[in-house]
Structure formats: C-alpha cells, structure tokens
Copies of this chain bind each other. A is one copy, B any other.
C-alpha cells in the first residue's frame, strides 16, 4: 500500500479486504477507482447484462458511478449522481457493489471476483470552469444588442408579456409586430423549425402578423425552403460577435459565466 498526500493505491486486494477500503472511501466522498474482473447487471428503464471481463469502475464524490471498458467515450454501464451504494461480500469470495437510484427506479449491480487495483483519490480542485458560447450566451447578447436580429428590434423582458414559457426571446419589430425568436447554437435542422412553428402557430390565430425568426450561426441543407413554406425567417448569428458583446459587458454579471464543483 502506497500512501501520498492525496491518493492511496491498493494492488491485488482480496474482495474481503476491499470491503472496508471501499466503504470508507465512499463515506469520505473520495473518488474511488476499482480495476478488476467483474460482471454487471442493470435493471431499470432498460435491462442489461455484461459478462465477465476486466473493467475500470469509477465511484465519484457525488456517488455517480461509471463502468468503463477499454473503449468508448461512454461508460458501458453507469449510475448518475446521488444513488445509494451498498457493498457486500458474496459467498465469502466475491465483492458485490449495488447502486440504487429511486427516480426512475434503477439498480446497478457489479460483482467482482478479482480486484487488480483499487485507488482512492482526494482531488483538490477549486478551479473555475467557464464555457461559451451556449444558447443562453447568444440569448444574452441579443438582449444586450437587439440589432443583432434587425434594426429597431426590441426585446420584451417582462415575463407577464410573454405568451408561453418556452420561447427563447419575445420581442417587437419596428412596425410593432410581435416576434418570436428561437435560438440555436449550432446548425438549424428541421426539428428547430418545427419547434418554432409550435410556438408561432397557436399565437398566429389571434394575431396573424406575428413573426417567427430562427437565430443561429448556420442553416442546414434544405431548411430554407421549409422555413419559407411555414412563413418563418432566419437570421444568421455570428457567435464570435456574441462572445465579444458578452465580454464587454461581463463586469455586471461575471458570476453567470463561472461555476465551481459542488464538493
């Protein structure tokens, strides 16, 4: 057993000896890595079985669990944060880890018959994470500079004035016509057009002059005719310009752009 300030490595533990180590690590909210020969059963929204083989199991501070094989970005099995974790010795020789989630009800069972390597990590991490440009960022920059949509476009902030809750931006054009804007951070596909139509259509019955505009950096192939057929519009958005606009105004709400890990 090697000990350093922030990690512990346990090669070739017996399942029996691993029990205390693992329970302790979970209780202390360490990050736990278990490498060994295992079998995995999942039951919930779907069901799955994974036959015996060597995998890397990660149990994180928030009790999220990821089971990784040697390939694939995505874990072969997993449990999102917050599940209940139980450990148990089976037949005196195997380690069973059970992780249960209640909503939706899902159970994950990992049975190890051999543990090559158990590692406990206490990660010190206060680093800020910032990401742009999200759809929310585009929205903010349009709010800050409505001319990104068109001259004399005005956003209506008051939520009481908004027709429904899912509209990205509601505003008024220079003629006073109501405008619904659907923002996409990537290429506009058919789905986005249908989504916008879903917002516009019910309102156009009471006000036929209502306009629907998709604001996005790129239009997919064949989308322009579709928009035309539904009498909807497209406004190209330069995401770099959005980043500029936000950067210039960041003094006020810099906290919006940074998040820290919860633990």
Q: Is A11 an interface residue (CB 8 A)?
A: yes
Residues A129 and B76 in contact in the complex (CB < 8 Å), given A35-B7, A54-B123, A116-B4: yes
Residues A72 and B261 in contact in the complex (CB < 8 Å), given A50-B127, A123-B54: yes
Neighbouring B residues of A243 by C-beta, 8 Å: 47
Neighbouring B residues of A29 by C-beta, 8 Å: 70
B70 with A125: CB separation less than 8 A: yes
B125 with A55: CB separation less than 8 A: yes
Residues A49 and B119 in contact in the complex (CB < 8 Å), given A68-B60, A71-B64, A198-B194: no
Neighbouring B residues of A12 by C-beta, 8 Å: 4
Neighbouring B residues of A52 by C-beta, 8 Å: 127
C-alpha spacing A131/B47, complex, angstroms: 6
Min Cβ gap A94→B in Å is: 16
A39 to chain B: closest residue by CB = B127
Q: Is A51 an interface residue (CB 8 A)?
A: yes
Partner of A125 from the list B46, B54, B124 (CB cut-off 8 Å) is B54
Residues of A within 8 A of B (CB): 2, 4, 6-7, 9, 11-12, 29, 31, 33, 35, 39, 45-56, 58, 60-62, 64, 66, 68-73, 76, 78, 80-81, 116-117, 119, 121, 123-134, 185-186, 190, 194, 198, 243, 261-263
Q: Give 6 nearest A-B pairs by CB, closest first.
A: A53-B125, A53-B127, A51-B127, A48-B131, A62-B71, A54-B123
